[in-house]
Amino acid sequence: MVWKKGRGKLGLFEPLMGDWIANEHSKERTNAKCRRSFEKTLDGKYVQLKADWFLGTGNYEDLTLFGVNAEKDICFWSFTSDGKQASGVRADVTDIHPEAIGFEAEMPSGLARQVYWPDDEEGFHWVVESKTKKGWNRFVHHHYRAVKVD
């Protein structure tokens, strides 16, 4: 995958633009899928992520905006179909991959982060981790591939 960033502060999202799908097979869920769609919005001032989770037991939606806050930090603001909200700021996540893009957020259960990085062959990886005394605990890991257009 070409992981070439674009111009400007939000240019780091250029490799993620478009429609992506991941199949999840974990102890908790089988035959679950998540579709992520990234696009520029509001005259290019923000990147919108629409994530649709198809869980077999029901669907779950996430709408996230990535943009620059008043302090000029790259941030995200997330809203989910279960009524939850989260916000966070860009973080150094190069411990996962040198080209990784990541964000940290203070959640009710403590510090969490989400990270995107290129796959060597196709698409990208996305993980969610929580901070523990021993380091980062990964509890979601998806491998996304481009949605095939017929």
- Residue 26 pLDDT level (bands cut at 50, 70, 90): low
* The residue to which tokens 């964000």 are assigned: 103
Alpha carbon of 85 to those of 37, 56, 81, 110: distances in Å?
Answer: 19, 23, 10, 14
| Mean pLDDT taken over the chain | 91
**Percentage of residues in the chain having pLDDT higher than 90:** 79
Q: What is the mean pLDDT of residues 17-43?
A: 85
| 57 contacts: CB under 8 Å, gap ≥ 6 | none
Q: Which long-range contacts does 47-51 make (Cβ < 8 Å, 24+ apart)?
A: 47/10, 47/13, 47/16, 47/17
- Residue 14 pLDDT level (bands cut at 50, 70, 90): very high
- Residue 30 pLDDT level (bands cut at 50, 70, 90): low
Q: What does the pLDDT read at residue 139?
A: 86
- The answer to whether 51 and 17 are in contact (CB under 8 A) is no
Q: What is the mean pLDDT of residues 85-95?
A: 96
End-to-end CA distance of the chain: 21
* Domains of the chain (ranges, CATH numbers): 9-146 (2.40.128.20)
The pLDDT of residue 105 is above 80: yes
Cβ count near 99 (within 10 Å): 16
pLDDT tens figures, 32-77: 899 999 999 999 999 999 999 988 778 999 999 999 999 999 999 9
Q: How many CA atoms lie within 13 A of 63 on its CB side?
A: 5
Q: Quick one: tokens of 58?
A: 């029901």
- Residue 140 pLDDT level (bands cut at 50, 70, 90): confident
Q: What does the pLDDT read at residue 3?
A: 85
Between CA 150 and CA 99, with CA 3 as vertex, the angle to 5 degrees is: 140
Please indicate whether residue 139 or residue 21 has the higher confidence score (pLDDT): 21
Q: What does the pLDDT read at residue 55?
A: 83
CA nearest 34: which of 148, 145, 150, 149?
145
